[in-house]
Amino acid sequence: MPGTNKLRVMLMRIEVRVFSGLEKYLPGVAFGQAFSVELPEGSTPRDLLSRLGIPEEQVFTVLKNGRHLSWDGILQDGDRIGLFPPVGGG
């Protein structure tokens, strides 16, 4: 069925982890615990946050496969995403 096929192509699955207090927005998810999210192709970190219900101003850093991603960066199928509030130390 062409319609279903089309839908499958348009969705992507990304692997998300949240840290340092952001887990409070996701009942049942522990910090560092991987979970997957399906989003339409071409989605950005903003879209991800709104799907997860995490307020944008709580997130300081988005890492995609270990590299920084801007708010308008594009997510891709299979990406590993880490979301962080402001952190520092040393």
By CB under 8 A, name the binding residues for another protein: 17, 19-21, 30-33, 60-61, 63, 66-68, 80, 82, 84-90
User: Are the beta carbons of 44 and 74 closer than 8 angstroms?
Assistant: yes
- CB 5 to another protein: min, Å: 34
Compare residues 34 and 74 and give the one whose CB is closer to another protein: 34
Compare residues 25 and 84 and give the one whose CB is closer to another protein: 84
Compare residues 32 and 42 and give the one whose CB is closer to another protein: 32
Residue at token pair 């952190």:
87
Sheet containing 35-40, strands listed edge to edge, beginning at the edge strand earlier in sequence: 35-40, 11-18, 80-84, 61-64, 67-68
